[in-house]
Structure formats: C-alpha cells, structure tokens
Amino acid sequence: MPLNIKDLKITSSDFKPLGKLRDEHAGDKGNVLPKLTVSGVPAGTKELAVICHDPDAPLANGFTHWTVYGIDPATTDLSNAQEKFRVGPNGVGDKQYYGPQPPAGHGEHHYYFWVYALDTNVEGTPTREEFLQKYAGNIIEQNRIVGIYENK
C-alpha cells in the first residue's frame, strides 16, 4: 500500500522548500535548529518521529543530522524538541542536532527534514537506519521539507 503524503506536513518559518538554510543553522556556524512545524497528523497516530538526513554527504548512507522519537501527535511546534523528546544518535553518534557542514567545494547538499506518523511507539533511540528497518511497516504517513546548504 503506498504511503499517503497528502495531509501530514512539516514546514519551517526559517526556510522555504528547497530554500537555503542560513549560516546560523550550520554545524560550524551556530548549530541552531531551524524552526519546524508539523500539521495534518492523521488519525490513529501514536507517535511522531523526525529525522534530518543529508543524502549528498560523501558517505555510503549519507549523513544523519538529527533523530527524534517520542513526539506526541498533538505537537505542532518542534522548537524545543531537542529538550522535550527522545533524541537519538546523529551520524557521529551524538544525541543532538548537528547542523549542515558539507565539505568545502562539494556543492549544494540537500537536508531532508522527514516527519513520520507511526501507529506504534518507537522503543529507545535507534539510528536512522535501525528506525527505517524496524518501523517502516508502522508508518501511516510521511512527508518532508528540504533545505539546501553549501560551503564554498
């Protein structure tokens, strides 16, 4: 059954879809999490999860910048998600947001902020890969907003 991405949305007042992330959001220039808002959570959702991933990173599986679990489905504002919910490991194993920091001269990188509506609760704080492998069948809906960043 194909996943519905019509109603569930994740948006940001800090950048538009396919818009440039500001320097303050970069890992080496402030590391400030962009403002994120969730809407259109489907009925039956027990938990939301949010993952920020850069598939353009020169690594086999790209680079995971943020994983967050245990988000109440009634939550709309993710501004304090880092403190309020279960933060899982990023690509270097730290449990925190790690902003964009692509290699200089590597071109534009795309930062996918995915939101997942799940029909079950996520146990613990899995890596992105563990989450997708274990919970793919529990995703009711998913959607993303993509930001762009480049180090010249």
What is the tens place of the pLDDT at every residue in 16-53?
A: 999 999 999 999 999 999 999 999 999 999 999 999 99
CATH topology for the 9-150 domain = Phosphatidylethanolamine-binding Protein (3.90.280)
Q: How far apart are CA 49 and CA 141, in angstroms?
A: 11
Per-domain boundaries in the chain: 9-150
Q: What is the torsion angle, in degrees rounded to the nearest 10, for the CA atoms of residue 75, residue 78, residue 79 and residue 85?
A: 90
Where are any strands of DSSP class E within 1-62?
Answer: 9-11, 19-20, 37-39, 47-54
| Greatest pairwise CA separation for the chain in angstroms | 45
Which three-class secondary structure state does DSSP give residue 28? coil
- What are 59-96's pLDDT values in tens digits? 888 999 999 999 999 999 998 998 999 999 999 999 99
* Entry pTM: 0.93
